[in-house]
Structure 1
Amino acid sequence: MMEVWLSVMLLAAHNAVAAKMKIVEEPNSFGLNNPFLSHTNKLQPRTSPSPPSGPSHLFRLAGKCFSLVESTYKYEFCPFHNITQHEQTYRWNAYSGILGIWQEWEIENNTFTGMWMRDGDTCGAKTRQTKVLLVCGTSNKLSEVSEPSTCVYSMTFKTPLVCHPHSLLVYPTLNKDLRRRWDEIEQSLYDALITEQGYRKMLQEIFQEARYIKSTEGKSEEKANQMESKRFETLEQCSVAQNELSEEVKRLKSILEKNGISYSKNESNKATEHPFPAHPIATRLEERFHLRGDTGDRDDQ
C-alpha cells in the first residue's frame, strides 16, 4: 500500500514539473534586441545596415517590419534594416537568426530589381544572404520565401508603392550631375566610342557614387591580379593574342577616323607612344570614361 501511495505522489510531482516547464518554454516575441531575452541570447548583427537609398517613395517603409509564417518558421522583413528567421517550436535550441542586413540594390536595365540583405549569420564558410523582390500588391505584405541555394534566400514583398510602371526606374532618382554623365556615356556607346563592357563598368561607377550598390573595387583588384598572373603557355597562344590585339587596334582607328579624330603614330616609338593625340574630344573621353583602362570585349557579329 505504501508503494502505491509513493508512486501516485511521484507521478503527480512529475506532472506538475512538466506543466511548469511547458510554460517556461513558450516562445517570447522575437526580433533584434528583444527585451525579454538575456543580452547573450539576443541576435547580434555582424554589421550595420546601409542608409536607405533608391526610390524615395519607398523610404516610408523604413522603421516598419512585415512577417510571414511558413511551416514552423516565422520570417520578419524590416525594409532597409534586416531579415530574421525564427523557428516556432518548443525545442530548447530552436533556431533564431539573421538572414541578412540591408546592403544594396540589384539593378538591371535601368530598374531596381531587388534589395540585397547580406552579412547574415554564419553558414559554414559563408554568411546568409537574402534577395527581396518587390512586386505590385494591394497592401504591404511579405508573401513568399524560398531558399534557391544553401543559405541564399529569396523573398517576395508585395506593396502598392511599386505598382506604377515607373516606380522602380533608376535614372529619375539620380541627381542632375549623375544623369548628365549617364547621358554622355549613352551617346558614347551609340557612337561606338566605348564597348558594352566599358559602358556597364561606367554605369556601375554611377550607381556606386549614388550609393545604390557597394563598391566592387576589391573584386576588380582580385580579378586584375588573376589576369596579371596569367601567362601564355605556348607560342601559338601568344600569336593568336597578338593577332587579336592588332585587329582591335585597327577597329579603334576606324572609329576615330569615322568621328573625325585624327590619329598619327611614330614608327620609331610604337611601344611608348600614347594611342590618342591631344585632341579635345579624345582627351575629354579619356579623362571621363577611362578608355585606356577599358579591356571590354566588343560583341561584334
Structure 2
Amino acid sequence: MESWLCVLLLFVHSAAAASKMKIVEEPNTFGLNNPFLAPASKLQPRTTPSPVSGPSHLYRLAGKCFSLLESTYKYEFCPFHNITQHEQTYRWNAYSGILGIWQEWEIENNTFTAMWMREGDPCGTKNRQTKVKFVCGTSHKLSEVSEPSTCVYSMTFKTPLVCHPHSLLVYPTLKEDLRRRWDEAEQSLYDELITEQGYRKLLREIFQEAKYLKSSESSSDIKENQSSSRRFDTLEQCNVAHVELSEEIKRLKGILDKNGISYSTNGSNQAIDSLFTGSTKAARVEERHLLRGDTGDRDDQ
C-alpha cells in the first residue's frame, strides 16, 4: 500500500512541474540568430542588407529592433536590417522565418513612404517580402500586420521621427549634384521638353544613384509595363476598345472647337500648347516646390 502511495505522489509532482513549463523566447539578436540553437537550426539570410540610406534622422533606428505579438506570432522589425516571424506555440515544429531583408525605399510623390524588406524565406516559387509603412506616432511601435497577398506582408511602424511635414521628403536628402539634376529635369518638364513619364524616369535614375532604389528593379519595371500593355484576346474586345477611343477623340475635338482651335494632326502639339495657361504651369511648379520642401520664390526666366 505504501509503495502505491509513493508512486501516486511522484506522478502528481511530475504533472505539476510540467504545467509550469513556459516558452523561452529567442534573444534579441537582429531576429536572425539564436545563440542557443544548433548552427543548422539558425535562420539563414539569403542576402545581406542594403546600406543605410534615406533621411539622416532615421539612422538612429539602425541597430534597434521592435517587436509585436499578433495572435500566436511574434514579429520583429529591425530597420535597415531585416524582419522576422516567430510562432509562439508548443508545437514541435513551430515556425520561425525571415520575412524580408532590407533592400530599398518605396517613394511616392517624391516622399519616402515605406521600407521594402525582400529576399525572405522561400514561399513556393518566390521569396517572402514585407512593406513597412512609416507613420507619425508618439513612440516607436510596430503595428497593423496583414498579408495582402500570399507571402507579401504589410506592416505599419509608428515613430515621432516622421511627424514633421518635411521629415520624409527626398529632395533635401540628396547631394548637391543630384539636386541639380532634379532641378534640370523639373525645368525641362516645365518647358515641355520632356513628358511627365520622362520626368519620372529621370527621377528614378536619381533615386537609384542615391541608393534609395535598387537598380535591378528598373528592368523588371520595364518588363511589367510592357506586359501590362493593352492586348485583346478577342475581336469583340478590340471593337469595344475602338468605340471607346473614338468617343474619346470626339470629346477632345469638342474641347478644341469650344476654344476656337482648329484640329489637325500636324498642328496637334500647337493645339495642346494653347490649352496650357501660365497659371496652370505656375500651379505645377508650386506643387513640386512643396514636395521638395522649397517654399520660396523661383526665377523661371
- The alpha carbon displacement at 1:218 in A equals 3.2
Task: Say if 2:152 is the partner of 1:148.
Answer: no
Provide, for residues 113-141 of structure 1, a one-character-per-residue CA deviation record: whole Å limited to 9, x for no partner. Answer: 11111111111111111111111111111
Task: Say if 2:180 is the partner of 1:183.
Answer: no
Aligned to 2:251: none
Provide, for residues 151-207 of structure 1, a one-character-per-residue CA deviation record: whole Å limited to 9, x for no partner. Answer: 111111111111110000000000111111111111111111111111111111000
* CA-based RMSD: 3.6
* Cα distance change, pair 162–224 in 1 and its aligned pair in 2 (3 A): closer
Q: 1:26 aligns with which of 23, 26, 29?
A: 23
Task: Say if 2:220 is the partner of 1:219.
Answer: yes
Gaps of 5+ in 2: 243-262, 275-301
Aligned to 2:14: 16
Aligned to 2:280: none
* Cα distance change, pair 253–146 in 1 and its aligned pair in 2 (3 A): closer
Task: Say if 2:118 is the partner of 1:121.
Answer: no
Q: Distance in 2 between matches of 1:173 and 1:115?
A: 16
Aligned to 2:89: 89
- The alpha carbon displacement at 1:251 in A equals 6.8
Contact 2:23 2:88 in 1 (8 A): no
Aligned residue for 1:194, secondary structure, equals coil
* Cα distance change, pair 214–93 in 1 and its aligned pair in 2 (3 A): same
* Cα distance change, pair 168–217 in 1 and its aligned pair in 2 (3 A): closer
Gaps of 5+ in 1: 241-246, 259-301
Aligned to 2:198: 198
Aligned residue for 1:85, secondary structure, equals strand
Aligned to 1:77: 77
Contact 1:28 1:36 in 2 (8 A): no
Contact 2:76 2:85 in 1 (8 A): yes
Aligned to 1:108: 108
Q: Distance in 1 between matches of 2:164 and 2:226?
A: 44
* Cα distance change, pair 28–253 in 1 and its aligned pair in 2 (3 A): closer
TM-score, normalised relative to structure 2:
0.69
- The alpha carbon displacement at 1:148 in A equals 1.5
Equivalent residues in 2 for 1:150-299 (5 A)? 150-215=150-215, 216-219=217-220, 222=223, 250=266
State the AA in 1 paired with 2:220.
K
Q: Distance in 1 between matches of 2:206 and 2:130?
A: 24
Q: Distance in 2 between matches of 1:251 and 1:209?
A: 39
Q: Distance in 1 between matches of 2:267 and 2:69?
A: 58
* Cα distance change, pair 209–131 in 1 and its aligned pair in 2 (3 A): same
Q: Distance in 2 between matches of 1:117 and 1:220?
A: 18
Aligned residue for 2:45, secondary structure, equals coil
Q: Distance in 2 between matches of 1:162 and 1:251?
A: 48
Aligned residue for 1:27, secondary structure, equals coil
- The alpha carbon displacement at 1:28 in A equals 3.6
Aligned residue for 2:130, secondary structure, equals strand
TM-score, normalised relative to structure 1:
0.69
- The alpha carbon displacement at 1:217 in A equals 4.1
State the AA in 1 paired with 2:211.
R
Contact 1:27 1:90 in 2 (8 A): no
Q: Distance in 1 between matches of 2:177 and 2:206?
A: 10
Structure 1 vs Structure 2: percent identity of aligned residues?
Answer: 71
Q: Aligned pair count? A: 245
- The alpha carbon displacement at 1:53 in A equals 0.4
* Cα distance change, pair 226–88 in 1 and its aligned pair in 2 (3 A): closer
* Cα distance change, pair 251–132 in 1 and its aligned pair in 2 (3 A): farther
- The alpha carbon displacement at 1:143 in A equals 2.3
Q: Distance in 2 between matches of 1:22 and 1:184?
A: 68
Aligned to 2:60: 60
